[in-house]
Structure 1
Amino acid sequence: MSENLTLDGLTVPMRALRALAVDFPDLPAPTLEISTIWPKRLELSLHNGLGLFETWRVALGIAPDDVQFREQSDGRTWVLLASGEFAGAELKLIAYGDSPDSLRESSGDGGGDA
């Protein structure tokens, strides 16, 4: 991170974002992050389940082998992560979704034996 970073220092991820909007206007909008901490990175986060991750992964040309799976919140949340390059920017794609156990708990089925 540079204390003297100007808006011009963020042009790489902003250009990538513009290219995404032009190339993939019909894809569902993710949460976007451009940060002075990583001025070459564009982060796309999907917070409504894991289903849209695959659509974005394919569109961005990220190989399936480059996808990482993680759990958080004591296994209640599943996370898919992938990184790649798009239009000169380092791209980070993340999706968050409820685990099956978490879905059962929220529906009143504790998942235990009857």
Structure 2
Amino acid sequence: MNKGLTLDDLAVPLRVLRLLVTDFGHLPAPEIFVSTIYPDRLELRFHDDLSGFELWRDVLGIVPDAVDYREQGGGRTRVLKASAAYAGAVLVLIGYGDVPAPVPVGAAA
């Protein structure tokens, strides 16, 4: 924790959060993360809801090619991550979702 920072030092991401609530309050609610380690960053995290991630990505104008894809948990969890500059802050979207189980060979469709 950075003991030299004050709440005023987090004004930029908190202001962006206020703008997002005003402009996009109808969209799915993410987990919201602000950190003293990265005082210019606001993270919006979507757990078990990649559709929420995609809605936010679209309204923020982040192109699909700018989304990083990886897997964690032994290949059981998809992780989508994208970031963009927004109103003076770095806005980071992170989405977590299950990787569908493979269909066994010979199973009926």
TM-score w.r.t. the length of structure 2 is 0.90
Partner Cα separation in structure 1 for residue 67 and residue 33 of structure 2: 20
Does the aligned pair in 2 maintain the 1:12–1:40 contact within 8 Å?
yes
Deviation, 1:113, is 4.1
Unaligned runs of 5+ in 2: none
Residue 100 of structure 1: SS of its match in structure 2?
coil
Q: Percent identity?
A: 55
Q: Which residue pairs with 2:20 in the alignment? A: 20
Quote the offset at 1:87 in angstroms. 1.4
Q: Which residue of 2 aligns with 1:54?
A: 54
| Consecutive aligned runs of 4 or more in structure 1 exceeding 4 Å deviation | none
Instruction: State the distance in 2 between where 1:84 and 1:26 align.
Output: 21
Report the alpha carbon displacement of residue 68 of structure 1 after superposing the two structures with TM.
0.7
TM-score by length of 1: 0.86
Could you list the per-position Cα deviations for residues 79-112 of structure 1 after superposition, in whole angstroms to 9, with x for gaps in the alignment?
11000011111000000000002xx7xxxxxx54
C-alpha distance in 2, partners of 1:53/1:6?
A: 30
Gaps of 5+ in 1: 105-110
Structure richer in helix, relative to its length: 1
Q: How many residues align?
A: 106
Alpha-carbon distance in structure 1 between the residues aligned to 2:86 and 2:28: 18
Q: CA deviation at 1:59?
A: 0.9
Quote the RMSD (CA, aligned, Å). Answer: 1.4
Whether the 8 Å contact between 1:79 and 1:95 is mirrored in structure 2 is yes
